[in-house]
Amino acid sequence: METPFTFGKLAMGDDFTNRTEEIIRLKNNFVSGINTIMISPRRWGKSSLVEKASRMIMQENKKIKIISIDLFNVRSEEDFYRNLAEQVIRGTTTKLQEIISFTKDFFKQWIPKISFSPDFQEFSLGLNWSEVKKQPDEILDLPQQIARAKGWKIIICIDEFQNIGFYSDTVAFQKQLRSHWQKHQDVSYCLFGSKRHMLMQVFTSPSMPFYKFGDMMFIEKISTKDWEKYITERFRATGKEIAPELSSRIAELLDNHPYYVQQLAQLCWLRCDHKMTAQVIDQSLDSLTLQLSLLFQNLTESLSTTQVNYLRALINEETHFSSKETIQKYQLGTSANVSRIKQALTDKEIIDTMQGTGVFLDPMFKIWLKKYYFLE
């Protein structure tokens, strides 16, 4: 029997839980042509949310086309332009002749080379980068040109958008993107990624080109109540039983982190013969912690002594990190050094500040530190 829980890939169908309000908001933005920026820590389900809303929209309205682009391995402007052009064409036609026609109709300044796979199911564009760099307008306006010609609305969803921050002269590149995208009447953009602090810099700083580019959606955690219902129903659907309070406990142990809640729920399900017990949950959590032990050990060894001391203070629920007492107790150096430590840990995506409080982005790392590393 397949396990009823999913992690490490897009949650589809019955694997997707809740996010009702976010789906409604995202769908409304798509239909209305409003640009959307989604921000949350990694593994909170942004990609699954976009995929869910996209499928629903395209089923309801055949004149809306949604194109998904992942910038995970796109680390230069040249690759960005090529990726954008290929995905836009791929997402708006599957016909060989139309692909060739698009390149003739919409590229006037230069003609890209088109390469097809032997079965003509896949294609790639060969771009003359020196020419594209001088005249990128046709690629940036390609979605709008196709949408207008076809009478469609197109939504471009770009994952790992923060990677444009690694491009040379990234601010000039961002200015180039916005100067075109803000003029598009039939195309809107949904931009998101896995590095929250970098996205915050791109979209919330008044000095950056993408400031106030669209509707900012800060994705929250799925509530314990929703996890309780989901986990209980998934157990029941496979002939196993778990009490609602134990379903809640699975979620609460991992601070409602979507990825880890699904992973722990799966381990519990695998260990459960028929009826779940609290003991099985504890055993499953211990097993998961030990599975990740080597990863966390290597991560901890990469940190400075003061950074590790800061994490100890955070686990001990200290609140006044710059106070003389806390600095002396945890040997943090100076108050100025505390700020540098916090920023360094934020840049490494180990902690973040939410509602004014420092939090671990990885709840399993916190559990491992508390149970194994800081054990005295």
Domains of the chain, start order:
19-218 (3.40.50.300), 224-291 (1.10.8.60), 294-373 (1.10.10)
Question: Which residue's structure tokens are 């976010």?
Answer: 22
**Span 357-368, pLDDT tens digits:** 789 999 999 999
Residue 9: pLDDT over 90: no
- Is the pLDDT reported for residue 93 higher than 90? no
* CA 192 – CA 157 distance, rounded (Å): 8
State mean pLDDT over 84-112. Answer: 80
8 Å CB contact between 234 and 4: yes
DSSP string over 262-301: HHHHHHHHHH-SSB--HHHHHHHHHHHHHHTHHHHHHHHH
Task: Give the Cα separation of 354 and 311 in Å (integer).
Answer: 16
Query: How do strand 215-218 and strand 351-354 relate by DSSP bridges?
Result: unpaired
pLDDT bracket for residue 1 (50, 70, 90): low
Q: What pLDDT is recorded for position 80?
A: 95
Q: Give the number of other Cβ atoms within 10 Å of residue 293's Cβ.
A: 13
Kindly report the backbone phi and psi dihedral angles of residue 135, in degrees, each rounded to the nearest multiple of 5, phi listed first: -135, 75
As a whole number, the mean pLDDT across the chain is 89
Tokens at residue 13, please? 């169908």
Helix 278-291 vs helix 258-271: crossing angle, to nearest 10? 120
Express each pLDDT in 163-192 by its tens digit: 998 898 999 999 999 999 999 999 999 999
- Residue 376's pLDDT is what? 54
Percentage of residues in the chain with pLDDT exceeding 70? 95
Give me the pLDDT at residue 164, please: 92
- Give the Cα separation of 323 and 103 in Å (integer): 63
- In terms of pLDDT, which residue wins out, 312 or 113? 312
pTM: 0.80
Q: 302-356 pLDDT, tens per residue?
A: 999 999 999 999 999 998 998 999 999 999 999 999 999 999 999 898 998 877 7
Name the strands in the sheet holding 215-218, side by side, starting at the edge strand that comes first in the sequence. Answer: 64-70, 153-159, 187-192, 36-39, 215-218
What pLDDT does residue 121 have? Answer: 67
